[in-house]
Amino acid sequence: MEYQINGNESDTAICSVNETTREYHDSITVNNTSIETKKCSNEKRKDFLSWDDFFMATAFLVAKRSKDPVTQVGACIVTPDKKIVGTGYNGMPIGCNDDDFPWCKNNPSKLDNKYFYVCHAEMNAVLNKNSMDVRNCTMYVALFPCNECAKIIIQAGIKEIVYMSDKYSFKPEMVAAKRMFKASGVSTRQHIPSKQHLVLDFSEINSNMTQMPSTPDKSNYN
């Protein structure tokens, strides 16, 4: 099957369809010279990210902003209709210089431990929200929340926690968090990603554009 999308007697854009493979085959003819021939499928991509993978990946990407040399955690808050309304990562409070405050966690000088100062990702995600409230939202977070973040999550009305790792489940902070989540009706579930690695390639946008025909060279027109 072949049909003309647009054009006149000499300048045309032709799209032919292979009825068996459903592949589209585009070509553009300017002044009787074919200048572009490309193929694309009529089928949608099969390896797109699931919502769960996308939101967890967003949490992991946000974590890349953290200055913590040991633990980088990100969180992402999502509405029931799949809109991101808040992100956060673990970091010092506003005005507390990253270079002046301690990142150590076992410093003999008690006041020089990060635990006194660092805001966790979950707290920052709630405080950074860009909607009126986050009631009935889901929070995606790499690590299971601690008790302090659990309080904030519960008070904010978030109803579901999706986490990647619960490796500190033995700590009292996580046990207490689970106790509060259970009492207040916040559900929790572990996310199992569909693939272990996602690669972001910033050059992809320039090297992988095979669908749209290029703009005809206007110097060929009179």
Q: Which residues bind Zn ion (CB under 5 A)?
A: 120, 146, 149
Of 43, 122, 160, 204, the active-site residue reads 122
Q: Which CB, 28 or 158, lies closer to Zn ion?
A: 158
- Choose between 120 and 178: whose C-beta lies nearer to Zn ion: 120
Task: Closer to Zn ion by CB, 30 or 178: give it.
Answer: 178
Tell me if residue 122 is catalytic. Answer: yes
CB of 5 to Zn ion, least distance (A): 56
Minimum distance from CB of 148 to Zn ion (Å)? 5
Residue 95: CB minimum distance to Zn ion, A: 20
Asked if 90 contacts 73 with a C-beta cutoff of 8 angstroms, the reply is yes
Active site residues: 122
